[in-house]
Chains A and B, each alone.
Chain A
């Protein structure tokens, strides 16, 4: 519309004006005319200096007259638009056709987006291809990831990804050295690359190569539900109950109820009914399920396709979780004999993946060791070296005062969280928190609650707390006591009160309260508070007797609330705690044939980063073939090693990372990734006009909608690139000039009529 209007007034395409240079080409007569116009202006001003009418009317009429004379003078000076135009058939044009799966989406006038490509580029004697061929020598490329030369028959629209930047860079390099007028990119713009477009655009801009983008498809799908994102942990202990956030968005299904199913390798493990959010507003839905099988597990989060949906492939998301079946060791240091230790240990005793080793101080300098692996373990009391403490993955401090530790031990505990990445849990008790003298210590820095030595609870003062989950607690698996949020809240409300002897008035800025308690004065107190600190995390659980949730007369014998609570909390305590060799698979899935990038952190037993370790990845492919890939220190981050692992066949790849130093093993660990085609093409698969416009604007090209490419071939002539000739376009006879002249004359006449000077 804008183009048509522009052409009506200016007789030329906007591209010509944007690429052209404005000049004047006056003849000798032009200067004579200028003198005449100057005389005419002088006479005009003289005439309107006095006479009839008000002063302001005379000024307005004089202005109109002078403008009219100026316009005439401009035309007499012969204004020109000088533009470089490509010489027909002397230049090349790169045409990039999107061959990815998203081009199968049927939102181009009821047809697939691919239909536009077939219509316009399907035959050399029609459509856009003909228009371009008449002016340029065409080089056609298809792209999804990397570009390649194609004929129309090669297009299958089944590429599993779209990498706009890689395609543009590839074609630019392919056409290097040729007189190229520009590039034309036909795509929906749904870029699936992890990297930004900036680098590719920088190269094009540096070379002055304009990209003319044509967007195919709609910017909003009329009816669609999308599972946009699923946030899952990379690893989990076997048997852990997880609560993950599933981000849903939709259009055309406001308020509709749908079911989110979670499948573990095809087996339904959870189902939950939700109401869809408002259109265009993504909503995060917490979904609860358990991982019961060890090994690499692909969890699929799916919303059943609804009638009328344009894209159903984006109704499901997959996530890889490495489910580990191993025993995680937790050290529980309790400063006084009390029932909390007994019932906590009992709660997790049936958990095959948790071992709580207890160091129970029974009297001054007298300890009882429970659950130790060797006769020497903890024989000298609480660990005195980092190597000894860091062998545990979680640490629970019961009612044990800060004075029971040396200064170095307190720093070790802080480093256990910060550097080792372990989980710290402090339990309520008369010797815990500020009452236990922790304010101002290194441990206080780590805890998620603020300790103030001047704000301790009076001795023998006990608060009785009714505990309930906060909003954050309701969205966390650790505080879920039933299958649904409503049932869980009801369960919490039915639990007996617990007692607390610690005064906690504030939490740290980055901390989250998951459970809160109401005391006898209706005051809210934090009960379970959590924060991430350094590489690890810390918890504060303020009651001194959660065992009441097991023993109380109102609790049935077979009730598992207490057991479930502690299993979930302790599993979370050790969740994600790193090993000495800790892999971070950057991509859990790659396309078959692509390389998987793996990074790993390597540390010594006291978790100091090692930069001189020999690290090797032993890769076992789906066909059983084994290969060793060395990992190299990245030279930038201490203790971080990188490797690129090639893939061939689709399937699971096991990567066993082994680190040695000086001939001694530092550690080893196993991770997995898979090579498989994905559905990423169908996520956020609307036509990305903003992205395509940015490409065009940054490179000096133009963006077109698929239905408005009529001027594309002509516009391409004026990029100024390649073999060109100079064209001069006279501007004095443009329709807009005539309209202005007539308009000014009419304006003067009309004004006179209105003010009575006609």
Chain B
């Protein structure tokens, strides 16, 4: 309990310190992602506009490439039309990229002993063979998710062999699309509401209540278990009405209360530690 409290405090301090520092520098994000400073800054500025209600019409996203070397890499799942690194509009899978990804990696590496890439990540499709080298994946806006047959087969094998996926940033009827697409991937899988007692909420931080107001409304956590048995491994987790990525993304801006970012990081850290141990 003491360790969890100390780690929580550390996150809060880290988030606050990062926020102040970056604000003082006029939100120069080059310190966050030095390797891809230009793209990161552009996307970050786009994100900030989005947070204020606007969206850029056209975006350039560096797909990134963290060659597997044993370390944990944040893998953002890409779906939809073929992507060449440039989009007329920010595609839904790229929401909060890259600042959310890299902020999360930084927090994860500071808080835990997980060895991570810090400023590199991977954007992979579900049928990309490299996906198998990264057994934890993150998908944003699954309400817009579409699947080819190859992607469906690749994702099914990924989950059945031991992969873990986080669905984030969706609301309203977007859930119907997630359910429909997952039914194609795992026809027999059932979404099960998660209880705060589930180990995923206690793998690092002690999250004892899920009575949380999410980004879009009261948040709900559901999951898919191996063989539909809640005693077995959790293969997929969905944060309905919530947007952890958004909170990670702006954790260094001061636009969001520190507490919200703090809590969002706790969920993310727990997901990763759980998926690495279960």
| Interface set of A (CB-CB < 8 Å, partner B) | 335-339, 341-343, 345-346, 358, 360-366, 368, 370, 430, 460, 462, 499, 501, 544-545, 547-548, 550-555, 557
3 A-B pairs with least C-beta separation: A553-B129, A336-B113, A337-B276
Interchain residue pairs with CB less than 8 A apart (18): A336-B113, A337-B113, A337-B272, A337-B276, A341-B277, A342-B162, A342-B275, A362-B204, A366-B7, A366-B204, A368-B204, A501-B70, A547-B162, A551-B133, A551-B161, A553-B154, A555-B161, A557-B160
Within 8 A of A (CB), among B147-181: 154, 156-158, 160-163
How far in angstroms is the closest Cβ of chain A from B201?
13
Q: Are B275 and A499 in contact (CB under 8 A)?
A: no
A336 contact set on B, CB distance < 8 A: 113-115
* Bound-complex Cα distance A368 to B204 (A): 8
Minimum Cβ distance to chain B for residue A521 (Å): 17
Q: Are B162 and A360 in contact (CB under 8 A)?
A: no
State which of A345, A363, A554 has its C-beta within 8 Å of the C-beta of B3: A363
B133 touches A335 (CB 8 A): no
Distance in Å: Cβ of A557 to nearest Cβ of chain B: 5
Residue of B nearest to A461 (CB): B69
B261 interface residue (CB < 8 Å to A): no
A362-B203, A363-B7, A545-B70 given; 5 more Cβ-contact pairs under 8 Å: A336-B113, A338-B72, A499-B70, A555-B161, A557-B160
Contact check: which of B113, B161, B276 meets A550 at CB < 8 Å? B161
- Cα distance A550–B154 when bound, in Å? 14
Candidate in B112, B129, B133, B276 with the most chain A CB atoms within 10 angstroms: B276
Is A343 touching B162 in the complex (CB atoms < 8 A)? yes
CB distance from B43 to the nearest CB of A (A): 27
Q: In angstroms, how far is the closest chain B Cβ from the Cβ of A249? A: 47
* Cβ-defined contact, A335 with B113, below 8 A: yes
Q: A342-B276, A346-B233, A547-B162 are in contact. Are A557 and B204 (CB under 8 A)?
A: no
Residues of A within 8 A of B254 (CB): none
| Pairwise interchain contact B111-A363, C-beta atoms closer than 8 A | yes
* CB within 8 Å for A362 and B162 given contacts A338-B115, A339-B135, A462-B70: no
Please give, as numbers and ranges, the residues of chain B lying within 8 Å of A363 by CB-CB distance.
3, 7, 111-113, 204
Complex Cα distance, B135 from A550, in Å, reads: 11
Please give, as numbers and ranges, the residues of chain A lying within 8 Å of B135 by CB-CB distance. 339, 342, 547, 551
Closest Cβ neighbor of B160 among chain A residues: A557
Q: Which residue of B lies closest to A501 (CB)?
A: B70
A554–B161 Cα distance when bound, in Å, is 12
Q: Please give, as numbers and ranges, the residues of chain B lying within 8 Å of A365 by CB-CB distance.
A: 3
For B72, the chain A residues whose CB sits under 8 A away are 338
Residues of B within 8 A of A (CB): 3, 7, 68-70, 72, 111-115, 129-133, 135, 154, 156-158, 160-163, 203-204, 233, 272-273, 275-278
Task: Assess the B278–A342 pair: CB atoms within 8 A.
Answer: yes
- Nearest CB to that of B233 among chain A residues? A346
**In the complex, how many angstroms separate the beta carbon of A182 from the nearest chain B beta carbon?**
79
Whole-angstrom distance between the alpha carbons of A207 and B5 in the complex? 89
Instruction: For A342, list chain B residues within 8 Å (CB).
Output: 135, 162, 275-278
Of the candidates A337, A339, A552, the one whose C-beta lies within 8 Å of that of B112 is A337
List residues of chain A with CB within 8 A of the CB of B163: 551
Mostly helix, strand, loop or mixed at chain B's interface?
A: helix
Q: Which residues of A contact B276 (CB under 8 A)?
A: 337-339, 341-342
A544 to B68, CA, bound (A): 12
Chain A residues within an 8 Å CB radius of B203: 362, 368
Pick the residue among A366, A460, A501, A553 that contacts B132 (CB under 8 A).
A553
Complex Cα–Cα for A335 and B113 (A): 8
Which residues of the partner chain B approach A501 to less than 8 Å between Cβ atoms? 70
**Within the complex, what minimum Cβ distance (angstroms) separates B263 from chain A?**
18
A551 B272 Cβ-Cβ under 8 A:
no
Q: Which residues of B contact A346 (CB under 8 A)?
A: 162, 233
A339 to B156, CA, bound (A): 19
Nearest to A429 among chain B residues (CB) is: B70
Query: Does B112 contact A362, Cβ atoms closer than 8 Å?
Result: yes
Residues of B within 8 A of A499 (CB): 68-70
Q: Which residues of B contact A343 (CB under 8 A)?
A: 162
For B111, list chain A residues within 8 Å (CB): 363
Contact (A368, B162) CB under 8 Å given A337-B113, A499-B69, A557-B157: no
What's the least CB distance linking A429 to chain B, in Å? 8
**Chain B: which residue is nearest A343 at the CB level?**
B162
Nearest-neighbour CB distance to chain B for A552, whole angstroms, equals 5
Residues of B within 8 A of A360 (CB): 277
In the assembled complex, the CB of B6 is this many whole angstroms from the nearest CB of chain A, namely 9
Q: A463 CB to closest chain B CB, in angstroms?
A: 10
Chain B residues within an 8 Å CB radius of A368: 203-204, 273, 277
B77 vs chain A, min Cβ distance (A): 15
B128 to chain A, nearest CB (A): 8
**Whole-angstrom CA separation of A554 from B133 in the bound complex:** 11
Nearest-Cβ distance from residue A177 to partner chain B, whole angstroms: 81
A370 to B163, CA, bound (A): 19
Q: Are B133 and A552 in contact (CB under 8 A)?
A: yes
Closest chain A residue, CB of each to CB of B131? A553
Is the Cβ of B3 less than 8 Å from the Cβ of A366? yes
The interface residues of chain A lying within 8 Å CB-to-CB of B115 are: 336, 338, 430
Q: Chain A residues near B131 (CB, 8 Å)?
A: 553
Chain B neighbourhood of A555, CB < 8 A:
161
Pair A557/B114 contact, Cβ less than 8 Å: no
Task: Count chain B CB atoms within 10 A of each CB in A335, A336, A365, A366 and give the residue with the most.
Answer: A366
A337-B112, A545-B70 are known contacts. Are A370 and B7 too (CB-CB below 8 A)? no
Q: Complex: how many Å from CA A370 to CA B22?
A: 40
Residues of B within 8 A of A338 (CB): 70, 72, 114-115, 276
| Distance in Å: Cβ of B173 to nearest Cβ of chain A | 32
Our pick among B3, B70, B161 for the contact of A544 (Cβ within 8 Å) is B70
Q: Which of B68, B131, B161, B278 has the most CB of A within 10 A?
A: B161
Residues of B within 8 A of A358 (CB): 277
| Bound Cα distance from A364 to B162, whole angstroms | 27
Q: B258: shortest Cβ distance to chain A, in Å?
A: 21
Q: What residues of B have a CB within 8 angstroms of the CB of A544 in the complex?
A: 70
A668 to B265: give the CA distance in the assembly, Å.
51
Question: Do B161 and A362 touch (CB < 8 A)?
Answer: no
Give which listed residue, B129, B162, B273, contacts A337 with CB less than 8 A.
B273
Q: What chain A residues lie within 8 Å of B158 (beta carbons)?
A: 551
Residue of B nearest to A361 (CB): B113
Closest Cβ–Cβ distance, residue A542 to chain B (whole Å): 12
Alpha-carbon distance A116/B113, docked complex (angstroms): 82
Which residues of chain B are within 8 angstroms of A345 by Cβ–Cβ distance?
277
Residue pair A551, B204 in contact (C-beta under 8 Å): no
CB neighbours (8 Å) of A430 from chain B are: 115
Closest residue on chain A to residue B113 by CB atoms: A336
- Name the residue of chain B whose CB is nearest to the CB of A552: B132
User: Could you tell me if B278 and A362 are in contact, using CB atoms closer than 8 angstroms?
Assistant: no
**How near does chain B come to A376, taking the closest CB pair, in angstroms?**
16
**CA separation between A539 and B182, bound complex, in Å?**
42
- Are A462 and B69 in contact, CB atoms less than 8 angstroms apart? yes
Residues in B with CB closer than 8 Å to A557 are: 156-157, 160-161
Q: CA A360 – CA B112 in complex, angstroms?
A: 12
Q: Which residues does chain B contribute within 8 Å of A370, judged by CB atoms? A: 277-278
The distance in angstroms between the C-alpha atoms of A338 and B273, with both chains bound, is 8
Chain A residue nearest to B159 (CB atoms) is A557
Q: Do residues A362 and B233 form an inter-chain contact, with CB atoms below 8 A?
A: no
Shortest B70–chain A CB gap in Å is 5
Contacts of B161 in A (CB 8 A): 550-551, 555, 557
Measured in the bound complex, the distance between the Cα atoms of B270 and A337 in whole Å is 11
- For residue B176, give the distance in angstroms from its CB to the closest CB of chain A: 28
Write out the residue numbers on chain A whose beta carbons fall within 8 Å of the beta carbon of B157: 553, 557
Query: Chain A residues near B162 (CB, 8 Å)?
Result: 342-343, 346, 547, 550-551
In the complex, A548→B161 CA distance in Å?
10
- A361–B114 CA distance with the chains assembled, in angstroms: 10
Residue on B nearest A337 in the bound complex, by CB: B276
Closest to A500 in B: B70
Q: How far is the CB of B137 from chain A (nearest CB, A)?
A: 12
Q: Specify which chain B residues have a CB less than 8 angstroms from the CB of A341 in the assembled complex.
A: 276-277
